[in-house]
Copies of this chain bind each other. A is one copy, B any other.
Amino acid sequence: MSHGPPYRFFDDYSEGAHPVILRHVADNNGGQQPGYGLDDACLLAADRIRARFATDGDVHFVSGSTQANLIGLSSMLAPYQGVVAPVTGHIAVHEAGAIEATGHKIIAIDAADSDGRLTPSLLDAALRTHEDEHTVMPKAVFLTQATELGTVYSKDEFTAVVRHAKECDLYVFVDGARLATALASERAGMDFSDLVRAGVDMFTVGGTKAGGMFGEAIVIVNAELKNNFRYHLKQRGALLAKGRFMGLQFERFFDNDDLWLRMGSLANENATYLAMAFESCGVELATPCDTNQVFVVLDDTIIEQLRETYGFYNWAPAGDGRSVVRLVCSWATQREAIDRLATDLAALTRSS
């Protein structure tokens, strides 16, 4: 086995920021600017995002993804309204009750059969059990593109579920913490403009996982949701005093060289490379590797040995002394680390 501290495949935020981002920030640090997101960099970044996503939506910047989700969703909902999400949706489990803390129920749907994707018929099932004032009123749908299982909605799947939600008078919120990997994914087959074309009401554009220091953009497409949004930001503590430091990052992400999308591509390519390493050792993928996350089924004894040298999470038991584990790649994952893992894995599988 190789040595040194375990190499982290835990997540896609274990590395720092892309040097190009840091340099752009440092180069444009000088001078006075209005605070709270009204500076030139935020304005330019918003323009570029609007242009790239083909929308006249409002664009706001917040520091993190949970913040974006809780502010975006709570801004759409009356107190008695809830949001439909897959059981595996990030808001449903891994945000410490952030949505409920704003007073809203998450109507969690088991979407295991569709690899973590919501479908029109799953929405219908949720609506049928929420019909009067004794239950919450479903009013929004929470989609993640890419999903928490590393899968993506294809353009058709995405369009179908968004359209159906709109027909059911539901707002559609898309958590795009990993949107760069989704738009770079072959299976998705989606262009930037396809989100707005499908009819989403609000979506986020993840900066952190795409090589930023921090920051997510919230894009409000639906005009009726634009009003007074800065009040929501301020009240939840999300209106950063020196907003320029988010604006500068996104201004650079969406400059002509498409840095943001390229970061998504890189992450996906690294994951594909990793998935192939597993497959070449005869290891089965638990879900298709559409983006930058790899879910594989391994013997628990092999997991234990790999863990000495590589960091990753156990996802779920798979029976017979095996488990599903998750490994995540990013734009910064080192191919050498993947190669080492492949070598180690091959040795372990031979000997077992």
The segment out of A62-70, A163-171, A342-350 that lies at the interface is A62-70
**CA separation between A337 and B28, bound complex, in Å?**
21
**CA separation between A306 and B85, bound complex, in Å?**
37
Contact status A16-B63, CB under 8 Å: no
The segment out of A228-236, A259-267, A280-288 that lies at the interface is A228-236
Chain B residues whose CB sits within 8 angstroms of the CB of A103 once the complex forms: 97, 100-103
Within 8 A of B (CB), among A60-103: 62-71, 74-75, 78-80, 82, 93-98, 100-103
Question: If A105-B97, A232-B79 touch, does A241 touch B29 (CB 8 Å cutoff)?
Answer: no
Dominant secondary structure at the A interface: loop
Closest residue to A6 on the B side, CB-wise?
B32
Contact status B14-A70, CB under 8 Å: no
Chain B residues whose CB sits within 8 angstroms of the CB of A7 once the complex forms: 32
A1 at the B interface (CB under 8 A): no
Chain B residues whose CB sits within 8 angstroms of the CB of A302 once the complex forms: none
**CA separation between A22 and B233, bound complex, in Å?**
26
Chain B residues whose CB sits within 8 angstroms of the CB of A105 once the complex forms: 97, 100, 106
Chain B residues whose CB sits within 8 angstroms of the CB of A65 once the complex forms: 241
Question: If A11-B35, A228-B133 touch, does A63 touch B66 (CB 8 Å cutoff)?
Answer: no
Question: If A100-B103, A242-B13 touch, does A80 touch B235 (CB 8 Å cutoff)?
Answer: yes
Chain B residues whose CB sits within 8 angstroms of the CB of A15 once the complex forms: 31-33
Chain B residues whose CB sits within 8 angstroms of the CB of A240 once the complex forms: 63-64, 214
A-B contact pairs, 24 of them (CB 8 A): A8-B32, A10-B34, A16-B28, A16-B30, A19-B26, A19-B29, A22-B25, A64-B240, A67-B237, A67-B238, A80-B234, A94-B134, A95-B234, A95-B235, A96-B134, A96-B231, A100-B100, A100-B103, A100-B104, A102-B103, A103-B103, A108-B108, A133-B228, A137-B231
Chain B residues whose CB sits within 8 angstroms of the CB of A235 once the complex forms: 79-80, 95-98, 101, 136
**CA separation between A208 and B36, bound complex, in Å?**
12
Contact status B30-A135, CB under 8 Å: no
Q: In the assembly, how many copies of this chain are there?
A: 4
Question: If A63-B240, A78-B228 touch, does A133 touch B98 (CB 8 Å cutoff)?
Answer: no
**CA separation between A152 and B67, bound complex, in Å?**
33
The contact string, 1 if C-beta is below 8 Å from chain B, for chain A 18-54, is: 0100110110111111110000000000000000000
**CA separation between A106 and B104, bound complex, in Å?**
11
Contact status B66-A231, CB under 8 Å: no
Question: If A235-B79, A235-B97 touch, does A242 touch B228 (CB 8 Å cutoff)?
Answer: no
Contact status B239-A66, CB under 8 Å: yes
Question: If A32-B14, A208-B242, A242-B208 touch, does A133 touch B63 (CB 8 Å cutoff)?
Answer: no
Within 8 A of B (CB), among A208-259: 208-209, 213-214, 228, 230-242, 244-245
Chain B residues whose CB sits within 8 angstroms of the CB of A242 once the complex forms: 13, 16-17, 208, 213-214
Chain B residues whose CB sits within 8 angstroms of the CB of A230 once the complex forms: 133
Contact status A214-B80, CB under 8 Å: no
Contact status B13-A96, CB under 8 Å: no
